[in-house]
Chains A and B, each alone.
Chain A
Amino acid sequence: MATALRIDPDKCTGCMQCELACSWVQTGRFNPAASLIKVHIFDEQAAYTPYTCFQCNEAWCMTVCPVNAIAINPVTGAKVVLEQVCVGCALCVIACPFGTAFLRPDHKATKCDLCGGEPACALACPTECITVGETSNGEEWTGRLAEQVSARFREMLEGVA
C-alpha cells in the first residue's frame, strides 16, 4: 500500500489554496509560480482541475534518470528526487508524459514527493477536492473521476463491438 492523493475536480472552486500551500513547502514563501500542483482553469467549460504527479507505477522520470537521482520512498511510495545526486540534466522533465516534473532555478529537478506522507495541498484544500488516501495502484489517484472515465471508455468499446 502507498499514500495517494485523490482529486475530485467537481469540488474545485479554483481558489489556489493548494498552490499556496505547495509553494510554501517548496520555497518558504507564498508563490504559486513555484507550486508543483497546478490548478487548470477552463473558463468556457466551467471546469477547474488541480493536477500534479500521480506517482505512476511505470515512472518514466525514474527510469530515464541517468544518475539514479529519483528513488521510491519506502513509506509513502512516492517517487522523490535526491537533491545531492541530481545533476540537473532535465531528462525527467522531458520524459514525464504529464508535465509534472520541473527544473528549479538552481538546476535541480523537483517533483511532488507527497510531503513525506502529509501532503500540504490536501490539508489546505477547503472543499475536500484534494484528499489523501491509501492505494495499491496508481489508478485510484483520480478517484471517482477515473471510474467515470473508464466506465465511459468501456461503454464506447461495447458500442463498437
Chain B
Amino acid sequence: MGGWAGRLLRVNLSDGSCTVEPLRMDWARAFIGGRGLGARYFCAEVDPTIDPFSPHNKLIFATGPLTGTSASCGARYMVITKAPLNGTITTSNSGGHWGPALKFAGYDLLIIEGQAQRPVYLLIVDDQVQVRSAEHLWGKGVWETEERIREEVGLPGVRIASIGQAGENLVRFAAIMNDLHRAAGRNGVGAVMGAKRLKAIAVWGTRGVPIARPAEFLAAQWRFRQKLRASPVTGEGLPGFGTAVLVHVINESGALPVKNWQFAHMAPDETGSDAERISGETLKARYTLRNKACFACTIACGRVTRVSEDGRVRHAVLTSPRNWRAAEEGPEYENIWALGADTNVDDMDAVLKASFLCNDYGMDPISFGATLAAAMELYERGYLDDSVTGRPLCFGDADALVAFTEATALRRGFGDQLAEGAKRLCERYGHPELFMGSKGMEFPAYDARAIQGMGLGYATSNRGGCHLKGYSVKAEILGVPEKLNPRTTAGKAALQKKLQDATSSIDASGICLFVSFGAELEDLVPMLAAATGVDYTLEEVIRAGERIFNLERLWLLRAGFTGADDTLPDRLLRAPIPAGPSRGQVNRLHEMLPEYYRLRGWDETGTPTSAKVSELNLEEVFG
C-alpha cells in the first residue's frame, strides 16, 4: 500500500489521551482522503445538532493520498468541523508545509476531541505525541507563536499550525494559520480550536510517504507537471502575477462587488475609487519581493510582499505595537477584494496592513472585509451611528479598515459586534437584507448577477457563500477549458454539478484546486492509482466526488438546513447592477435551481432521494 499512511491519530483534550488507530481502508477507498475521508469520520462521530463551541464538536485535520508526494501542488490538508460562523459542516483547505509534515509523521488524519481545561499545544514527532502547556503562548499572534514553539521544541524543520488572538477570542470567522501565512480560512475553524483551548499543533515527521507503484507514479507525476507548465494559467498567469491578476479581469467583467454589493464595477466616475490602485499589476510593481510556493508546488502563486516606506507611517491607528516586517505574504485576490473593493478602500498599503493583521491575528479576511462593508452600509444608511461604532465608518475609510481589523480580532469596542459576522450584525440592527451571503456565510469576490453559474454555486455550496466548491468563474470568465457566456443560465446547472463533484475529488486527493486551471481530473487519476495501488478509474473518482458532496448535504439537512436555504440575497435576485459592463443584470437562480436538483437526483425540496443515497452507498452513514 502507498499514498495513505494507513493510520490516524486521535487526541482527546478533555482527558489528554492520544491514541493511534488503523485507518478504515474501506472508507479511504470510497472517500479517497482529505475532504472526503475527513467528512466520513466526522459524519460518523459528530451529531449535526450540537453547538459548534461545545466539547462534543470535533476538529479533523485530513490529508489526502497525494499530500506529501512529489505530485505537483500536493501540499493540502483540510479542516473538517461544524462551523461556528453558520452551523454548516465546513471543509476548510490550506497549503504550506504543515499537511505534508503530518503525513511524514505517519498520519492521514488527526482528530481532536473534547476541550482542554487550560491552554495547550500539541507536539507530534512521529510516534511521540505530547500535549504541552500553552499558557505562555495564549494572547500571542501567529508569528510569535510559531517562533516560540520552534525555539522551545528545538527542531528547525518543525511545522506549526496555530490560532492567533481571533481564534482565542472566538471570532466567528477566525482561521487556523500554518507556516505563518497559509490559512484554513473560512467558516471560523480557528474559533473551534480556540474553544478547545488548543493554541497550536507542531509536527515533525521522518517516516515519509510510501508509493505503491513507484515507476508508474514517477511517470504520472511528471506528465501532470508538464501539463501544468504548458497551461497559460498555471504555466504563466499564476506564476507571473499570482491570484491578484484577477482584480482587473473581474472588474472589467463588471463582476467585482463594491460597497457591499451596491456596485459591481470599480471606476472613478461610478464608485469614486480606482481598481488600478489595488490591482495585481500594482502589487507586482510596487510591493512584491518574490514568489513563494507551497510544498511540492510547481506553480508558486504565493507572493512575498511588504508595506511601502510611506505606507508604514500612514494609518497609525493601532492600539498595540506592531512592527511591519520586511517580508510578509499575500494579499491574495480575495483579500484585496474584501478589504479593498468591498469596503471601497483603494489604498494598497491599507489593504496590505489589514491583510497582514488578519494573518497574524488568524482571521478570515473575506468574512471580515465583507462584515466591515456591511457595517459601512448600515452606517451610511443611518442604521448605525458613532455612539455604537465609536468612530465614523464610511465606505473608503482606510483608517477604519486598519483599526477595525485589530479591534475585531481582539473583540474591542464595536469590533466585538463585527466579530459575530455580517449576518448577525445586519439582523441585530434590523436589516437582514444587507447581509451579502448564503447559509450564513459572507460571499467571496465575484458578483453572481454578472456570473450566473457562480450564483448557483453560492446558493448550493455546502458551507455557505463560497467560490471554492464549484468555481464556475473558471469557465464563465477565464474560459477554462472553454469559454461560456456568464450572462446565460442554460447549461449552468450541469456545469455546477460537474465542478462541485470534481472539486470534491481534488479536495480529497490532497492536491491544490488550482491544478484544475491547467489539468483535468483524468490527469489526476493515474497519480492516485499509482500512489495508492488502487486501480481507480475516472468514473470512480468522479463518483467519489459526488459521494462526498452528497454526504455533506445529508449532514447539512440533519443540522436543520433545508432547500429553502439554497438561495441568494434579494439584492442579487431583484436589484439590477446599477452601472458598468454588467449594468442591468440580476441573478436568475430560479432558472437553474430546479434543473440542478434534478441532475443531482434530489427531490424538489433539495433532499437526495433514497435511490441516489443508495446508489452512492451512503445509506449506512447516518444509521
Contacts and interface: CB of A to CB of B under 8 A. Distances in A.
Contacts of A16: 97, 295-296
B297 A13 contact: yes
A23 B211 CA distance: 13
B211 A29 contact: yes
A20 interface: yes
B298 interface: yes
B208 A15 contact: no
Nearest to B297: A15
B6 to A, nearest CB: 14
Interface stretch (A31-39, A83-91, A132-140, A141-149): A31-39
B240 to A, nearest CB: 13
Contact of B326 (A28, A32, A44): A44
Nearest to B214: A28
A17 interface: yes
A98 B70 CA distance: 27
Interface string A7-41: 00010011111001101100111111110000000
A20 B297 contact: no
B230 interface: no
A15 B70 contact: no
A124 interface: yes
Contacts of B296: 15-17, 20
A103 to B, nearest CB: 14
B298 A45 contact: no
B205 interface: yes
B304 interface: yes
Contacts of A31: 104, 206-209
A43 interface: yes
Nearest to A27: B208
Question: Most chain-B CB neighbours within 10 Å: which of A30, A124, A126?
Answer: A30
A126 B302 CA distance: 15
Interface string B195-213: 0000000001111111100
A68 interface: no
Interface residues of B, number: 35
Interface string B172-202: 0000000010000000000000000000000
A160 B205 CA distance: 49
Contacts of B209: 29-31
Nearest to A46: B327
Given A13-B300, A15-B297, A46-B326, A33 B205 contact: yes
B208 A30 contact: yes
Interface in B204-237: 204-211, 214, 225, 229
A127 interface: yes
Contact of A30 (B70, B204, B292, B304): B70
A16 B72 CA distance: 11
A143 to B, nearest CB: 18
Nearest to B288: A46
Contact of B206 (A20, A28, A34, A124): A34
A23 to B, nearest CB: 7
A10 B289 CA distance: 11
Given A15-B295, A28-B214, A30-B209, A20 B70 contact: yes
Contacts of B295: 15-16
Given A28-B214, A29-B208, A30-B209, 13 more contacts: A13-B291, A13-B300, A14-B292, A15-B297, A29-B209, A30-B68, A33-B206, A33-B208, A44-B325, A44-B327, A45-B327, A46-B304, A126-B229
Interface of B: 68-70, 97, 100, 104, 157, 180, 204-211, 214, 225, 229, 289-298, 300, 302, 304, 325-327
20 contacts: A15-B293, A16-B295, A16-B296, A17-B296, A20-B69, A23-B208, A24-B70, A28-B210, A29-B208, A29-B209, A30-B211, A31-B207, A32-B104, A33-B104, A33-B208, A34-B206, A34-B208, A43-B180, A46-B304, A126-B298
